[in-house]
Structure 1
């Protein structure tokens, strides 16, 4: 067998111009997906005041959002089979931006709750389909680029938060911010649609399936046609179902870790250390900022170490950082701890989506759909659990769940991909 450099140079040619354009188009959709929703977050106090809601009523409205994602997410695979992952991602990003406008102009609790539920539903379909299309582009690159997509989402989230904060500070009317967001984000999504890949979503898998290797012959003995192909989308082996469940658990713990910083970080800082609003927000900034950096640098790390080793090292980092923050309570150690948590989980969503999308015997899009659905279970269950423990024991003790989340990641990370370097049809893992 030839050495690494000699082997990789002829097998990893420079990406074609169309593939480069597709990568930037998918990155733009990820950015818009993060920016559009997170621009809302700093305006929540204005929404509460404009509608006249109590905090309890507002919390209930926000809590209904993940239910929309859970219900709609399972339909993403069927939509992608019918329309393709690229058109589905663009269409539902446009729907999401439209629904976000409905959130901005909410006039009652029922209106707000319904708009947030629809926003989460459209986001779930956009999330799954843009990851599926990103996997198509990654297969053409034959190396890991999925982490950079999620880096663009994190950058979009930070950008959206800054836009919302600036609009709140300038007292921009809610309807005006929502309308401008719909126009700008919608136009950019339509621009991105022109440069996405064409053809069926299984196009990049054809060389791997057509090859004479024993692995491909064993994993794909026959290609179903007609109605059998549609029905076969959800007919998977017990092994595939078990692996998808384990991948889902990785994202349940990763999503719960991210939610701990997003939902409870500022309250933890304020209640534990009595700091001001700016310092309290540093927990969220630390987690999202470190996660952004970890995602933009994660592809090089994954290519060198593989998804499994990267995930395990990240879990150790997350557990160590939050253990330091909770055993040595201080604003500085808290910021360090949340940063370690963000960096530690940075590559987990791309890793789980990649592994799910390449499971033998699973129709394209179905693996990502199921694993993404599990991730939303974590976002749905974690906030009330942490909140109940915080009421009973204070948030400092409730957030000891974060090192336990890291332990869960460590346990289930064994199902992640171990490959390094080139990612093409000749590798043993793809379908």
Structure 2
């Protein structure tokens, strides 16, 4: 027999709705990013630009993210994550439509800056809201939220090529925009209304001077650099250095993504069972083993297995770092998260280009075998993951 009072049952219902809402927001953000990926060849051809110019435009995406993320963090501290995530989601939704209509490179650069900026700003806000939902539920939900982001990316990339081939470029972005608006309408009334700290509204927007947020930022950075490395260079490594076919070379990132998404759905249960610190250490060692297997593999099949093992490990490293960043004592969740997301995503956006330059002289095998050195730093900092358990009222 259920002994809970009616008020407890109602509260549980609200928390379930809050969790569904923030999951839909992660799904939306991932869906927009995933929908952008299949548009890139058409975007390049329509503007008549070279690979190097396209690279600069993609760099504008990264710069936009890194500019607006700290600003979003400051506003979250002042007005709460609910308001910021609503505004950023509304602005983000039609930006792929804007990118499809830009007439030249200069307006494309502005549109790319806005796309990266508001995708990044929404990322900070939805992670901050997820931290608040974790606190209200007193259990981990961050890993499954990131799993919904991965699922959104998979759906966006999966249907994008089909819609463009069957119906055309403009209908594709109109469908994407419509789906985003439906997700916003569904999530809107259920988004947790968090309250900023009473003194936060009067504070100036500034980055924290204490070392803890930056140490957790380093954890996020060194967890996300390997993810960007596999995304951007895994297929080339399999193709050029291990003799994989064109078809097989795509399975490296596919295996990595599949195990990552699967383990993110399981990650909250694991974290609640073993605690954030132990879970982070297990995941980091698993990722380290996987990357070493990939980097020292004698053939493509072993390398793909290594990437799959690495995906299992990396899956919950970033969610734990973000939960810890949003639960630091004496610091507003938006501020800590803006540091962690800023540093983490800068690793994904900029490190792979540096790795490409180094790999021209060394080859990719040594790169993938050396990346685990970053995980050793994460292990050394892993005791800070205990802050992620504050969401459960510890």
Q: In structure 1, what is the equivalent of residue 28 of structure 2?
A: 32
Deviation at 1:199, TM superposition (A): 5.0
1:187 aligns with 2:156: no
Deviation sequence 1:186-240 (CA, Å, 0-9, x none): 22112211111235145xxxxxxxxxxxxxxxxxxxx75874xx24x7586x6xx
1:324 aligns with 2:293: yes
Deviation at 1:82, TM superposition (A): 4.6
Give the TM-score normalised by the residue count of structure 1. 0.83
| Farther off after superposition, 82-91 or 130-139 | 82-91
Deviation sequence 1:266-290 (CA, Å, 0-9, x none): 2222222343443222122112111
1:90 and 1:190 in contact (8 A); partners too: no
**Map of 1:117-266 to 2, 5 A cutoff?**
117-168=113-164, 170-201=165-196, 224=199, 227=202, 230-231=203-204, 234=206, 241-266=210-235
How much is the aligned-residue C-alpha RMSD, in angstroms?
2.5
Q: In structure 2, what is the equivalent of residue 212 of structure 1?
A: none
After superposition, the Cα gap between the structure-2 partners of 1:179 and 1:371, relative to the gap in structure 1 and judged at 3 Å, is same
Deviation at 1:172, TM superposition (A): 3.7
After TM superposition, what 4+ stretches of structure 1 lie above 4 angstroms from structure 2? 223-226, 233-236, 418-422
Q: In structure 1, what is the equivalent of residue 284 of structure 2?
A: 315
| Structure 1 residue ranges without an equivalent (≥5) | 1-8, 203-222
Corresponding residue SS for 1:188 = helix
Give the TM-score normalised by the residue count of structure 2. 0.91
Deviation at 1:391, TM superposition (A): 1.5
Q: In structure 1, what is the equivalent of residue 95 of structure 2?
A: 99
Deviation sequence 1:254-312 (CA, Å, 0-9, x none): 11111112211222222223434432221221121111111110111111222122112
Distance in 2 separating the partners of 1:396 and 1:106? 40
1:73 and 1:372 in contact (8 A); partners too: yes
2:259 and 2:311 in contact (8 A); partners too: yes
2:292 and 2:306 in contact (8 A); partners too: yes
Aligned residues: 388
Q: In structure 1, what is the equivalent of residue 261 of structure 2?
A: 292
Distance in 2 separating the partners of 1:225 and 1:157? 34
1:20 aligns with 2:37: no
Corresponding residue SS for 1:400 = helix
Q: In structure 1, what is the equivalent of residue 62 of structure 2?
A: 66
Distance in 2 separating the partners of 1:17 and 1:72? 34
1:365 aligns with 2:334: yes
Deviation at 1:401, TM superposition (A): 3.8
1:268 and 1:395 in contact (8 A); partners too: yes
1:136 and 1:201 in contact (8 A); partners too: no
Deviation at 1:110, TM superposition (A): 2.7
Corresponding residue SS for 1:40 = helix
2:294 and 2:368 in contact (8 A); partners too: no
2:255 and 2:308 in contact (8 A); partners too: yes
Corresponding residue SS for 1:144 = coil
Distance in 1 separating the partners of 2:103 and 2:391? 53
2:34 and 2:157 in contact (8 A); partners too: yes
Deviation sequence 1:42-74 (CA, Å, 0-9, x none): 221222222222222212221222111111111
Deviation sequence 1:11-56 (CA, Å, 0-9, x none): xx77611111111011011011101111121221222222222222
State which of 341, 346, 352 in structure 1 corresponds to 2:310: 341
After superposition, the Cα gap between the structure-2 partners of 1:185 and 1:338, relative to the gap in structure 1 and judged at 3 Å, is same
After superposition, the Cα gap between the structure-2 partners of 1:388 and 1:373, relative to the gap in structure 1 and judged at 3 Å, is same
2:325 and 2:340 in contact (8 A); partners too: yes
Corresponding residue SS for 2:230 = helix
Q: In structure 2, what is the equivalent of residue 53 of structure 1?
A: 49
| Farther off after superposition, 274-283 or 17-26 | 274-283
Deviation at 1:380, TM superposition (A): 3.2
